[in-house]
Amino acid sequence: MVTVAEILKSRNLGKEKRVCTMLERLDDEAQPRQKPKMEVLLVKTAEFDTIIAAEKDTAAAEAADRAAAGAKAEVVKAEKAAAPQEEDKVPTTAAAEAVDAPTDGVGQQVAGEAAAA
């Protein structure tokens, strides 16, 4: 509770009006006991409405920016989906011959056939 009051005061949203401490008596058990309580009374500052309005405007602008970025990402994603993929392309004749050329077992083409290709 004190932490919330300190946050509001540091942001100039609230002003401390009164702080009280007390002991509350609990009689619901076999042996009555006392429980400590603290009461902090805050009031709005004069700048409260102005600060909150500015924060709402900032949040609305950020939300609009995120929505625009999301829409742009969707457009880019749609463009990528519409563009032909590398796997979809048919290999050219020279590339197809190089793929079919015999190798020496290590993955290198045999010299005579590589020169012919």
Indicate whether 38 and 53 sit together in one domain.
no
Residue 29 domain flag:
yes
Q: Which domain holds residue 12?
A: 1-45
The tens digit of pLDDT for each residue in 73-91 reads 777 777 777 766 555 555 5
Number of domains in the chain: 2
pLDDT at 59: 93
- pLDDT surpassing 80 at residue 111: no
Identity of the amino acid at 17: K
Q: What sections of the chain are H helices per DSSP?
A: 2-10, 48-82, 93-100, 111-116
pTM of the shown model: 0.45
Indicate whether 3 and 39 sit together in one domain.
yes
Cβ(43)–Cβ(17) below 8 Å: yes
pLDDT band at 36 (very low <50, low <70, confident <90, very high): very high
- pLDDT surpassing 60 at residue 101: no
State residue 50 phi and psi, 5-degree precision. -65, -45
- pLDDT surpassing 60 at residue 56: yes
The two most distant CA atoms of the chain are separated, in Å, by 103
What residue has token string 């603290």?
Answer: 38
Mean pLDDT of 26-30: 80
* pLDDT above 70: percentage of residues in the chain: 69
- Beta-bridge partner residues of 109: 103
Collapsed DSSP state (helix, strand, coil) of residue 20: strand
